[in-house]
């Protein structure tokens, strides 16, 4: 008893010495969408633990879709009366400003489409995911599980975790938070890439490749953060900008740090010479995951690039802009030229995404209000087109799974005019033909770049779009003007989930092409907020 009392008094004495800490203020209304997504991911993990296997799919799908709708509603409610200049909350770590809200909305709607594709079990019986990922490919157990219809339902909480990481990534005001968000969004993606039901070795190879290269890129990012911390004595974007603006200390650390940081960011956005993982991973991953990755990761990565460049490095843009010009040009050329030589449809879309990343970078380095709103619009438009395009790719199948070789797509219009028509429309949108969202996106991005005095870059971008248009049109010609081979693929009739996802993507691609003003207004509603006050 006396010992306890003594301990109590000594603890009390210790506590009396320590001053209580001031917990940071949290604006729960502003970050509610993100909290809903991350919280529901945890609930999804509990579902995995406590529900019997046969009930999991339906519960997980319901939870995930409800979460996305709920987070979207929270976002809409918050949008009705949010401050114009944005809110910086959680000790200045997160900044919920107009671009962040736009990106959150984009991510939620794109993830809705991707989750519908992930949840689909009608196109591929049992879904695109393997029922037991731990079984080694090619063994007796693997052949036995090929007939089983279950799927690894952990993909749903993993998708939500990745989505939560993306939402934090494009709202974080501080490089350390950004790094953790980068890991939170990447780790589930690495895992989901390796869970394909068919061609499992290819899928696992894609996962390992993505994981190793992604870890490498994360190391670059972290090294850059360390050097920038050495320069500015802070990881806050605002502090780095202030340090860069008004000191006479050596700038070597600043530029070395910026270079390494940007390598990490460009890797995630699959830009230019840092794209080496893209074709293999897009090809090997299950198609719904590819759709999720292609649309949402790009949104998050470019959201991060825009925020970092505007927030921390606007004052020094004269020094680094030349380098990013070069990167954008290399990316557009690689995407357009190598895309021409591809014979696999998923690889072709992968190279097309490299070219689009180049176009997006053109808008990102303009660092004007128009560049910001143009890039945001482009991200939204590109995301919807890509989700729908991968949805269509998952429909064209042979007995062995998806028929991704281009020669198998010959004469598809004679087999299924509707699917060929939808895919043609999506390809035209990717090429940037008028009356599609792709045209408006390119138009706003290029005009912003022109106004910022980047005419040569815009010329290169136009040339690259022309070359890229050629390989999209090649697929169109193949579908309409070739004879179908007798043992060619069949076009599955999609179930309601895939149907909704493709319809959503296609309709929005069309609507944004003819009536973009609404979204453009929203995208241009305001700039980033960085200050902590």
Partner 1 sequence: MTGLVLAQAATGAADTVTTGEAVAFWILGPLALAGGLGMLFARNAVHSALWLAMSMLSLGVLYMVQQAPFLGFVQIIVYTGAVMMLFLFVLMLVGRDSSDSVVEVLRGQRLAASVFGLGFGVLVVAAVARSLTQVTPAGLNQVNTTGGGNVSNIGRSLFTDYLFPFELTSALLITAALGAMVLAFTGHDRKRRTQRETVVARFRGEHARPSPLPGPGVFATANSVATPALLQDGSVAPESLSEIIEATAAEQLAEDLAEVSGRVAGPDPRALRGPAGTATAPPGASATAGASAAEGES
DSSP letters spanning 207-241: HHHHHHHHHHHHHHHHHHHHHHHHHHS--BHHHHH
CA distances from residue 174 to 88, 305, 501, 529 in whole angstroms, order as listed: 11, 13, 35, 12
Q: Identify which range of 99-107, 225-233, 422-430, 517-525 contacts partner 1 by CB under 8 A.
A: 225-233
Which residues have CB under 8 Å from 3's CB, separation 6+? none
* CA 148 – CA 504 distance, rounded (Å): 31
Phi first, then psi: give them for residue 196, nearest 5 degrees: -65, 145
- In the complex, minimum distance from the CB of residue 262 to partner 1, in angstroms, rounded to a whole number: 15
Nearer to partner 1, 190 or 425 (CB): 190
82 binds partner 1 (CB under 8 A): no
| H helix and E strand count, the chain | 22, 5
Which DSSP state fits 124?
T
Q: Identify which range of 18-26, 327-335, 392-400, 439-447 contacts partner 1 by CB under 8 A.
A: 18-26
Tokens of 358: 């180049």
Residues 47-76 that bind partner 1 (CB under 8 A): 48, 53
Nearer to partner 1, 120 or 239 (CB): 239
Nearer to partner 1, 330 or 367 (CB): 330
Which residues have CB under 8 Å from 461's CB, separation 6+? 328, 332, 358, 359, 362, 442, 446, 449
- In the complex, minimum distance from the CB of residue 93 to partner 1, in angstroms, rounded to a whole number: 5
Among 36, 41, 193, 354, binds partner 1 (CB under 8 A): 41
Residues 92-131 that bind partner 1 (CB under 8 A): 92-94
CB atoms within 10 A of CB 319: 14
Among 202, 256, 460, 469, binds partner 1 (CB under 8 A): 256
Among 79, 91, 276, 500, binds partner 1 (CB under 8 A): 91
Which residues have CB under 8 Å from 87's CB, separation 6+? 27, 30, 95, 96, 97, 529
Q: Identify which range of 39-47, 340-348, 435-443, 460-468 contacts partner 1 by CB under 8 A.
A: 39-47
* CA 378 – CA 316 distance, rounded (Å): 26
- In the complex, minimum distance from the CB of residue 183 to partner 1, in angstroms, rounded to a whole number: 6
CB atoms within 10 A of CB 52: 6
* CA 18 – CA 16 distance, rounded (Å): 6
Nearer to partner 1, 252 or 485 (CB): 252
- In the complex, minimum distance from the CB of residue 109 to partner 1, in angstroms, rounded to a whole number: 22
188 binds partner 1 (CB under 8 A): yes
- DSSP SS3 for 405: strand
Among 21, 147, 399, 418, binds partner 1 (CB under 8 A): 21
- Residue 402's DSSP bridge partners are 397
488 binds partner 1 (CB under 8 A): no
Which DSSP state fits 490?
E
165 binds partner 1 (CB under 8 A): yes
Q: Identify which range of 229-237, 380-388, 425-433, 522-530 contacts partner 1 by CB under 8 A.
A: 229-237
- In the complex, minimum distance from the CB of residue 277 to partner 1, in angstroms, rounded to a whole number: 15
Among 64, 177, 331, 465, binds partner 1 (CB under 8 A): 177
Give the footprint of partner 1 on this chain (CB under 8 A): 17-19, 21-24, 38, 41-42, 45, 48, 53, 90-94, 132-135, 141, 152, 154, 157-158, 161, 164-165, 168, 174, 176-177, 180-181, 183-184, 187-188, 190-191, 194-195, 227, 230-231, 233, 249-250, 252-253, 256
């Amino acid at each position: 008893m006396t010992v306890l009392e003594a301990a109590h008094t000594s603890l009390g004495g210790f506590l009396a010495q320590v001053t209580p800490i001031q917990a940071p203020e949290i604006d729960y209304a502003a970050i509610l969408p993100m909290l809903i997504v991350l919280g529901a991911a945890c609930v999804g993990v509990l579902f995995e633990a406590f529900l019997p296997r046969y009930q999991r799919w339906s519960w997980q799908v319901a939870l995930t879709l409800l979460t996305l709708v709920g987070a979207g509603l929270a976002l809409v409610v918050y949008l009705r009366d949010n401050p114009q200049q944005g809110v910086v909350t959680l000790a200045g770590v997160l900044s919920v400003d107009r671009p962040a809200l736009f990106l959150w909305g984009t991510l939620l709607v794109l993830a809705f489409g991707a989750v519908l594709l992930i949840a689909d079990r009608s196109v591929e019986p049992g879904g695109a995911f393997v029922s037991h990922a731990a079984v080694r490919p090619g063994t007796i157990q693997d052949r036995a599980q090929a007939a089983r219809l279950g799927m690894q339902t952990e993909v749903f909480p993993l998708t939500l975790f990745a989505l939560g990481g993306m939402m934090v990534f494009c709202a974080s005001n501080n490089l350390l938070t950004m790094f953790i968000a980068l890991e939170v969004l990447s780790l589930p993606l690495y895992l989901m890439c390796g869970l394909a039901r068919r061609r499992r070795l290819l899928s696992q190879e894609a996962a390992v490749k993505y994981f190793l290269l992604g870890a490498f890129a994360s190391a670059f990012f972290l090294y850059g953060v360390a050097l920038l911390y050495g320069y500015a004595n802070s990881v806050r974007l605002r502090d780095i900008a202030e340090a860069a603006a008004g000191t006479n200390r050596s700038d070597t650390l600043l530029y070395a740090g910026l270079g390494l940081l940007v390598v990490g960011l460009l890797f995630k956005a699959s830009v230019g010479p840092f794209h080496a993982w893209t074709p293999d991973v897009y090809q090997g991953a299950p198609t719904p995951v590819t759709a999720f990755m292609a649309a949402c990761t790009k949104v998050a990565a470019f959201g991060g690039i825009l925020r970092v460049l505007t927030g921390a490095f606007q004052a020094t843009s004269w020094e680094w802009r030349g380098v990013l010009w070069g990167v954008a040009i290399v990316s557009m050329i690689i995407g357009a030229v190598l895309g021409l030589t591809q014979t696999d449809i998923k690889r072709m879309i992968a190279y097309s995404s490299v070219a689009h990343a180049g176009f997006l970078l053109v808008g990102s380095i303009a660092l004007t209000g128009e560049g910001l709103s143009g890039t945001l619009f482009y991200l939204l438009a590109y995301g919807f087109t890509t989700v729908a395009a991968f949805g269509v790719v998952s429909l064209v199948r042979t007995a062995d799974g998806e028929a991704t070789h281009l020669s198998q797509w010959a004469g598809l219009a004679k087999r299924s005019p509707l699917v060929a028509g939808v895919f043609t429309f999506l390809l035209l949108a990717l090429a940037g033909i008028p009356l599609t969202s792709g045209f408006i996106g390119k138009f706003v991005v290029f005009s912003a770049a022109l106004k910022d005095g980047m005419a040569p870059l815009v010329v290169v971008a136009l040339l690259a779009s022309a070359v890229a248009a050629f390989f999209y049109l090649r697929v169109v010609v193949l579908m309409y003007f070739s004879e179908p081979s007798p043992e060619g693929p069949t076009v599955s009739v999609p179930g309601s989930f895939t149907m909704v996802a493709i319809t959503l993507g296609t309709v929005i691609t069309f609507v944004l092409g003819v009536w973009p003003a609404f979204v453009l207004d929203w995208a241009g509603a305001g700039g980033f907020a960085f200050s902590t006050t």
